Amino acid sequence: MDMDAWVWWLIGAVALGIPLVMTAMPEFGMLAVGAVAAAVTAGLGGGVAMQTVVFAVVSVALIAVVRPIAARHRSQRPELVSGVEALKGRSAVVMERVDASGGRIKLAGEIWSARPLDNDQSFEAGQEVDVVEIDGATAVVI
């Protein structure tokens, strides 16, 4: 029983998909896409030489274009900000007047002591302020 060439290419694509799933190496997926492109070429009546060229060109093009993009994204992991660093830039509500001598704000569900960035400023209860830094246990606000 003789199978058409496009079936062999699809079997090859599935065979390349298995190590893709097992190893998480995207190159196998790109080769599998090349095999699918060769299967389409075979289905449209292209000869063995044309099928092989399509497989090679599509696979190499994907590896050359997609792999550097994927590597760049993999290396740019987002930074996890925690602790007091996560509080910088957040908004807070003034609970007790905040001026050069101090005051209280509600920040992230907790009551914090606070002082203004500029000692000439003052904020009244109920006002919304932004935290610019944390100095010890005191939030510096604007």
| 4-8, 65-69, 75-79, 126-130: least confidently modelled range | 75-79
pLDDT of 15 over the 90 cut: yes
Q: Round to whole Å and give the CA distance between 84 and 104.
A: 17
Q: Helix or strand or coil: residue 110?
A: strand
Tokens representing 14 are 């599935």
Find the mean pLDDT for residues 118-134.
93
Find the mean pLDDT for residues 132-140.
90
DSSP letters, 28-97, are HHHHHHHHHHHHHHHHTT--HHHHHHHHHHHHHHHHHHHHHHHHHHHH-PPPPP-GGGGGTT-EEEEEEE
Tell me the per-residue pLDDT of 40-88, one tens digit each, with 9 for 90 and over: 999 999 999 999 999 999 999 999 998 888 888 877 777 777 888 888 9
Q: Which ranges of 79-128 does DSSP label H, i.e. alpha helix?
A: none
Tokens representing 25 are 């190496």
What's the pLDDT at 112?
94
Across all residues in the chain, what is the average pLDDT? Answer: 90
Beta-strand (E) ranges in the chain?
91-99, 102-107, 110-116, 128-135, 138-141
What's the pLDDT at 44?
92
66 exposure class (CB count in 10 Å sphere: 0-12, 13-18, 19+): middle
Nearest C-alpha neighbor of 62 from the set 26, 100, 92, 86? 26
Sign, CA dihedral 44-46-47-48, equals negative
Tokens representing 65 are 């274009």
pTM across the whole model: 0.52
